[in-house]
A = this chain, B = another copy of it.
């Protein structure tokens, strides 16, 4: 039979005692705690009964603390103050929300929206984990992840389609200056092709031979090279939308491809929704 670590009186009664002891008046304490005077009187009475001693002397116009009541009040007030301050610190601390994304998503989608997120959520600290690896929600303390996947998610995760992965071939307008767009597959093969780690040119052009061209380990690097006029890059439309609109890149062929995997926004299914996570999610 495990004994309680400490024998505490009913905490609600203790709270009524503490407020009454500060105010020396049940009616005022009741008002402070948002209950009726009768409720406070009952709680204090119950506490006195349980402890077997008087904490207050009842006067016609209020209360006086007994010597014992005064000594106890000092300690109880300090303890409740500590609880109140600790709770206040907890609530005041900006909440950290961790998002796991690939470097490309970070560069092309998240960073341009950071200012917008910050202004919408001033009390949230946003922490970005940019990695190609699949994050483990618990191990990495990740709240939200953006994942490219065609698979169904386990029941513990909650997912929402972010955007379809539609691949387009784009290049700098300087690179294709003088050429008539859109280009055919053969014309495209004559241009320098930029490869990233996904290496999807063969599938896109329906060519089995290895295609020459500069290779990068991150899509975002390949995109930077395209922007610099180094060649044509094959990338998801969502990543290049802003550059297309700004004219920094042009779509060089009408052909597009989808690969059956799309980008999802994923979070751990939780029975205790956290407000900050919800806000970022929306």
Residues of A participating in the B interface, judged by any CB pair closer than 8 Å: 2-9, 11-12, 14-15, 19, 22, 28, 31-34, 45, 48-49, 51-54, 57, 59, 68, 71-72, 75-76, 78-91, 93, 95, 138, 270-272, 274-276
**Distance (whole angstroms) from the CB of A154 to the closest CB of chain B:** 14
> Can you list 14 pairs linking A and B with CB atoms under 8 Å apart?
A4-B33, A6-B81, A6-B83, A6-B87, A7-B87, A8-B15, A8-B87, A9-B87, A45-B271, A51-B91, A57-B138, A75-B89, A76-B86, A79-B80
Whether A2 pairs with B14 at a CB distance below 8 angstroms is no
Q: Find A272's partner among B49, B76, B88, B276 (CB 8 Å cutoff).
A: B49
Tell me which of A51, A53, A71, A93 has the highest count of chain B C-beta atoms within 10 A of its own C-beta: A53
**A89 / chain B contacts, CB cutoff of 8 Å:** 71, 75
Partner of A79, one of B68, B79, B274: B79
Chain B: minimal CB distance from A270 (Å): 8
Q: Which residue of B lies closest to A68 (CB)?
A: B90
A272 and B83: CB pair below 8 A? no
Min CB distance A267 to B, Å, is 13
Taking a contact as CB atoms closer than 8 A, the residue among B3, B80, B90 that contacts A6 in the complex is B80
Specify which of B82, B93, B138 is in contact with A78 (CB 8 Å cutoff): B82
- A91 CB contacts on chain B under 8 angstroms: 51
* A53-B138 CB under 8 A given contacts A34-B4, A86-B75: no
- Contacts A7-B87, A75-B83, A75-B86 given; 5 further ones with Cβ under 8 A? A4-B33, A4-B34, A11-B12, A54-B270, A76-B83
Q: Across the interface, do B274 and A83 meet the contact criterion of CB distance under 8 Å?
A: no
CA A47 – CA B151 in complex, angstroms?
35
Contact pick for A52, options B5, B76, B83, B275, CB 8 Å:
B275
Taking CB atoms, residues of chain B closer than 8 Å to A15 are 8, 11
Q: Which residue of B lies closest to A52 (CB)?
A: B275
From A95, which residue of chain B is reached at the shortest CB distance?
B53
Q: Across the interface, do A54 and B272 meet the contact criterion of CB distance under 8 Å? A: yes
- Please, how many angstroms separate the alpha-carbon atoms of A11 and B83 in the complex? 10
Query: Which residues of chain B have C-beta atoms less than 8 A from A78's C-beta?
Result: 82
B8 touches A83 (CB 8 A): yes
A87 CB contacts on chain B under 8 angstroms: 6-9, 51, 72
A138 surroundings in chain B (CB, below 8 A)? 57, 59
> How far is the CB of A100 from the nearest CB of chain B, in Å?
17
> Does the CB pair A11–B11 fall under 8 Å?
yes
Q: Which of B14, B53, B274 contacts A274 (CB 8 A)?
A: B53
Residues of B within 8 A of A84 (CB): 5-8
Distance to closest chain B CB from A46 (angstroms): 10
Least Cβ–Cβ distance between A20 and chain B, in angstroms: 12
